[in-house]
A = this chain, B = another copy of it.
Amino acid sequence: MHFTSEQRLDGDVLEREFTLGEVPGILWTPEPASAPEPAPLILICPPPLGLSRIYPRLAARARHYAAEYGFASATIELPGSGDRPRWPAVEQARAELRRVMEAGGPVTGEIVDALVLPLVDRSVPEWRAVLDALLAVPGIGGPVGYEGGIISIGVRLAAVEPRIAAAGLFAGSFVPAAIVEEARRVTIPLHVLLQWDDEAGHRQASLELFDAFGSREKTLHANMGGHTGVPQYEIDAGARFFARHLR
């Protein structure tokens, strides 16, 4: 892991950009460390829009975690997003999804699989390699939480990566049937956000996914509004969920 830049943000947070192989990312740590023991770490998976575009949102979240809870947090650029090389197969699947939705046609399982599974297959090993590297950074080493992004990535990671102790998931994207099956193997505490009027109409599928998770502790927070309308107070509700499980 190579740190490529470093700056101190308001609120005593150190922001460091890094690369691990071809994967760029950002690490935020509370500075000075608020506790003598290593900080818990939240992996923040971004939507596939390019980190530079959503940086303000991610940085605000990371600052809140560091200042209020003493958590470190980190994000990476997803394959095919931002400055990473284009990924024609996934771009083609997105174009196909748009075409079908604009025509009012049904979004078939094949379309969803082609759209989501390659991204899951490639992102999850990247996240695991980044996690290895992050846990070797001095001051980081508490329990690990995961949140955000494309929910299927979170499901797979929670199912296969034993170092993830708790996950906050956003039910706002299509979920392949194979991922719903993987959800049954997830047993860590979960905090699932659902936008009741999400444009893509994932409500019923999201309720079924929530039901499928094998976790004994799982909470669903459903709020009114569309995909981008998650209320401000949910950010702290998610942080409090992590505070219960990572401290």
A interface residue numbers (CB < 8 A to B): 196, 207, 210-211, 215-224, 231, 233, 237, 240, 244
Q: Which B residue's beta carbon lies closest to that of A216?
A: B224
- Known contacts A233-B244, A237-B237, A244-B233; decide if A219 and B221 are in contact (CB<8 Å): yes
By the criterion CB–CB under 8 Å, are B219 and A222 in contact?
A: yes
By the criterion CB–CB under 8 Å, are B218 and A220 in contact?
A: no
By the criterion CB–CB under 8 Å, are B224 and A218 in contact?
A: yes
Give the contacting residue for A224; candidates B217, B223, B231; CB below 8 A: B217
- Known contacts A211-B196, A237-B237, A244-B233; decide if A220 and B217 are in contact (CB<8 Å): no
By the criterion CB–CB under 8 Å, are B221 and A220 in contact?
A: yes
Could you say which residues of chain B place their CB within 8 Å of the CB of A244?
Answer: 233
- Known contacts A196-B211, A237-B237, A244-B233; decide if A222 and B224 are in contact (CB<8 Å): no
> Which secondary structure dominates chain A's binding surface?
mixed
Copies of this chain in the oligomer: 2
- What's the Cα separation between A207 and B223 when bound, in Å? 12
Could you say which residues of chain B place their CB within 8 Å of the CB of A233?
Answer: 240, 244
Enumerate 24 A-B pairs (CB-CB under 8 Å) in ascending A order.
A196-B211, A196-B220, A207-B207, A210-B222, A215-B224, A216-B224, A217-B224, A217-B231, A218-B223, A218-B224, A219-B221, A219-B222, A219-B223, A219-B224, A219-B231, A220-B220, A220-B221, A220-B222, A220-B223, A221-B221, A222-B222, A233-B240, A233-B244, A237-B237
Q: Which B residue's beta carbon lies closest to that of A241?
A: B233
Could you say which residues of chain B place their CB within 8 Å of the CB of A221?
Answer: 219-221
Q: Which B residue's beta carbon lies closest to that of A244?
A: B233
- What's the Cα separation between A240 and B218 when bound, in Å? 20
Q: Which B residue's beta carbon lies closest to that of A211?
A: B196
Could you say which residues of chain B place their CB within 8 Å of the CB of A222?
Answer: 210, 219-220, 222
- What's the Cα separation between A240 and B237 when bound, in Å? 10
Q: Which B residue's beta carbon lies closest to that of A207?
A: B207
Could you say which residues of chain B place their CB within 8 Å of the CB of A240?
Answer: 233
Could you say which residues of chain B place their CB within 8 Å of the CB of A215?
Answer: 224
Could you say which residues of chain B place their CB within 8 Å of the CB of A211?
Answer: 196
